[in-house]
Chain A
C-alpha cells in the first residue's frame, strides 16, 4: 500500500473487514438519525399539503362571518373564532399575573428550603398532567361548584380551566427568565439602597420581561389547540352566536373542527380543513411573535 493510495482514500475502502464493518455501522446510524428527523418534517409537510388542498377553496370571507350550519355552503367559523379569541384573552388575563407572581416568589422570595422544593417539584409534575384531567377538575370546580359565579359552562369556566393547564408551563418559563437576570444587577440595586420590592419592580422584572412574554405566548399557543378539557366542561355544542360576556356559552376552533370532521359529508371535511388552516395560521403567528420578541429584546449579559 503506497502513501499515495492512503492519501487518495483508496486505502480506506480497502481497510480491514472489521474496520469496514465499524464504518458501515457509523453510516447506518447516521442514516437512521436522518430518517428520524425526516419523519417529523415529512409528516408536517404531508399534513400541511393535505389540509391546504382540501381547505383553501373554502376560505372565503363568508367563512369568517357565518355561523356554523348544517348546510356546508352556509357554514362558517364566526362563533368558534370569537370563542377562541375570548378564551385566549381571558386565559392571558388570568394566567399571566398569577404565573409571573408565582415565579417571582419562587425565584426572589422563597429561600432554598423544603417548601420551595416541594412547590417546585409539584409545578414540574403538574406541567406533565394530561389535559383531560384538568377538564375533569374544571367541570367539578368551575362548572359545578362555582357555577353561580362562572355561569356554568361558560367562557370563564373554560378560561379558568385552561389557565390552570398552562400555569405550570408559564411559571417555569417565567422562572427561567428571572433566573437569567444576573445577580450583579440585583446586588447593584441593593447597593444603592433599594428595597427588595424596588429591585424586583425596577430591575428584575423589566429585564426578565421579554423572556416571560415569550414563555407566555408559547404557553398560550399550546392553549389555543386544547380540545379535551373543553369538551369535558361542555363546550362541544352547536352555537350560532358570539359570546357577549365571560359568563356566556362558547365554542372554540378545535371543537368546531372536531365537530365538522366527524360528519359524514365530504363538504364538512373540507370545512374542517379550512378551519384547521385558520387555527394553524393563528398558532404559527403567535409562535412567530414569540420568536420575534425574543430576538428583538434579547440581551447578552
Chain B
C-alpha cells in the first residue's frame, strides 16, 4: 500500500537525519597536525565590523581550519557578551565604560585594549566654493541639528553669500551618521531630515562635486579618494581650525570628528593559539585592510606598540589581575625580543 511505503520511507529518512546529526557532533574544532585551528569569537561595534570582517576573511584564507565568527551586536552588546566570557575579542568604537569594566571584573574576565584604526569624518564643499575655509562645531550644529532653519549660506555666518545651501549626508543606517550626530549635534541620531541622504558615499561625492553651493559630510577615506572633486573644510572644535589629514586624524587633533577604534582582547582568549594569531594578524596585515575598507590606519609604530603589548601578554602569565592601562608600558620591553618584524 502506498501509504505504508511512504511511511517506511519517512522513518528511514528521519533515522538517517538523526544519525547524521549525532555523527557530526564530535569533530568540530579538532586540530590537524601543527595546523592552526579552533574558533575565534568576535562581536561588537558595527563601525569596526568592516575591518574585523576583512581581517577574518583574509585570516581564514591563510588558516583554513580556523573558524572566526564576527557578530554585530554594537559596542555595548559586544561588551555584554565579552564580559560574560562568551567572546574572545570585542569590537568597540569607544573605550570600555566603567560599568562594563565592572561586569568584566565580576566575571573574572581580564582584557587588553588594542587600538586598531582611526575613524575620521570629512566635511566637504565643492571646489568652486570660495567663501568658506573652516566651520566651527557650533556652526555645523546649527546647520545639522533637528529642526534647523538654515536654508542659505548667509544664515550660517555673516558675510557668506546669499545662496541656497544644498546638504548631502549619509543615511540613518550609517555608523558615520551616528557618530557625526553625536559629535556635532550632541545626541546620537539627532539630525535634520531634509537633506539628500545616501548610504552610498559615492553618491554623496557626486552630489557635492556637482553642486557649487553644496555641503556634505562622510568618511574621511572617501574624501581622500576624491580630493580632486571636493574640498575638505577645517573644523574648529574650540582650539582653532584643523584640516582633516591623516596626521591630524591620527593625532586626535582633528577633534571632534575623529576617534580611535578598538578591539578588546580577553586574556583567556589570548591563551589560545588561534586567537593570538588572529590578533597578531589584525595588527600586521590589518593596516592594508583598514585602508581598503575606508578607515585611517594607525602609524606603523603604533601598530608595533600594540603588537608588542599583545605579544607580551600572551608570553607572560595572563592570570595575575591588573589594570589594563598599566600593562602597556611594562610589557613593551619584555616583548621586544619577540619577532623582528619590520
A binding-site residues for B, Cβ under 8 Å: 67, 69-70, 89-90, 92-93, 96, 152-153, 205-207, 209-210, 213, 234, 236-241, 243-249, 262, 264-266, 296-297
**Which of chain A's residues have a CB closer than 8 A to the CB of B69?**
237-239, 249
**Which of chain A's residues have a CB closer than 8 A to the CB of B10?**
209, 213
**Contact between chains at B7 and A206 (CB < 8 Å):** yes
Which chain A residue has the least Cβ–Cβ distance from B86?
Answer: A152
Contact flag A240-B56 (CB < 8 Å), given A264-B199, A265-B200: yes
Asked if B340 CB lies within 8 Å of chain A CBs, one says no
Contact flag A206-B3 (CB < 8 Å), given A237-B71, A244-B27, A245-B26: yes
Rounded to whole angstroms, the CA-CA distance of A297 and B39 in the bound complex is 47
Which chain B residue has the least Cβ–Cβ distance from A75?
Answer: B57
**Contact between chains at B6 and A297 (CB < 8 Å):** yes
Asked if B54 CB lies within 8 Å of chain A CBs, one says yes
- Not counting A93-B14, A206-B4, A237-B70, a sample of 16 additional A-B residue pairs whose C-beta atoms are within 8 angstroms of each other reads A70-B293, A92-B14, A93-B18, A153-B86, A206-B3, A210-B6, A234-B73, A236-B72, A238-B71, A240-B60, A249-B39, A249-B67, A266-B200, A296-B2, A297-B2, A297-B6
Which chain A residue has the least Cβ–Cβ distance from B294?
Answer: A264
Which chain A residue has the least Cβ–Cβ distance from B60?
Answer: A240
Please list the 5 inter-chain residue pairs (A to B) with the smallest Cβ-Cβ separation, ordered nearest first.
A238-B70, A264-B199, A237-B71, A244-B28, A264-B200
**Contact between chains at B24 and A244 (CB < 8 Å):** yes
Contact of A209 among B6, B54, B201, B293 (CB under 8 A): B6
**Which of chain B's residues have a CB closer than 8 A to the CB of A93?**
14, 17-18, 21
Rounded to whole angstroms, the CA-CA distance of A297 and B9 in the bound complex is 14
**Contact between chains at B28 and A92 (CB < 8 Å):** no
Rounded to whole angstroms, the CA-CA distance of A265 and B41 in the bound complex is 26
User: Shortest beta-carbon distance, B75 to chain A, in Å?
Assistant: 15
Rounded to whole angstroms, the CA-CA distance of A213 and B43 in the bound complex is 39
B binding-site residues for A, Cβ under 8 Å: 2-4, 6-7, 10, 14, 17-18, 20-21, 24-28, 39, 41, 43, 49-50, 52-54, 56-57, 60, 67-73, 86, 173-174, 199-201, 293
User: Shortest beta-carbon distance, A291 to chain B, in Å?
Assistant: 16
**Contact between chains at A90 and B21 (CB < 8 Å):** yes
**Which of chain A's residues have a CB closer than 8 A to the CB of B52?**
238
Rounded to whole angstroms, the CA-CA distance of A71 and B73 in the bound complex is 22
Rounded to whole angstroms, the CA-CA distance of A92 and B10 in the bound complex is 11
**Which of chain B's residues have a CB closer than 8 A to the CB of A297?**
2-3, 6
**Which of chain A's residues have a CB closer than 8 A to the CB of B53?**
70, 238
Contact flag A246-B7 (CB < 8 Å), given A237-B72, A240-B56: no
Rounded to whole angstroms, the CA-CA distance of A152 and B172 in the bound complex is 32
**Which of chain B's residues have a CB closer than 8 A to the CB of A296?**
2
**Contact between chains at B25 and A247 (CB < 8 Å):** yes
**Which of chain B's residues have a CB closer than 8 A to the CB of A262?**
173
8 contacts between A and B (CB under 8 A): A70-B293, A90-B21, A93-B17, A93-B21, A238-B49, A247-B28, A264-B174, A296-B2
User: Shortest beta-carbon distance, A177 to chain B, in Å?
Assistant: 12
Contact of A210 among B3, B26, B39 (CB under 8 A): B3
Most chain B CB inside 10 Å of its own CB: which residue of A209, A213, A239, A264 = A264
Rounded to whole angstroms, the CA-CA distance of A93 and B18 in the bound complex is 7
Which chain B residue has the least Cβ–Cβ distance from A147?
Answer: B86
**Which of chain A's residues have a CB closer than 8 A to the CB of B6?**
209-210, 213, 297
Which chain B residue has the least Cβ–Cβ distance from A74?
Answer: B57
Which chain A residue has the least Cβ–Cβ distance from B81?
Answer: A234
Rounded to whole angstroms, the CA-CA distance of A45 and B34 in the bound complex is 54
Which chain A residue has the least Cβ–Cβ distance from B49?
Answer: A238
**Which of chain B's residues have a CB closer than 8 A to the CB of A244?**
24, 27-28
Rounded to whole angstroms, the CA-CA distance of A105 and B73 in the bound complex is 42
User: Shortest beta-carbon distance, B68 to chain A, in Å?
Assistant: 7
Rounded to whole angstroms, the CA-CA distance of A237 and B67 in the bound complex is 12
**Which of chain B's residues have a CB closer than 8 A to the CB of A264?**
174, 199-201
User: Shortest beta-carbon distance, A234 to chain B, in Å?
Assistant: 6
**Which of chain A's residues have a CB closer than 8 A to the CB of B18?**
93
Which chain B residue has the least Cβ–Cβ distance from A265?
Answer: B200
Contact flag A241-B201 (CB < 8 Å), given A70-B50, A92-B17, A209-B3: no
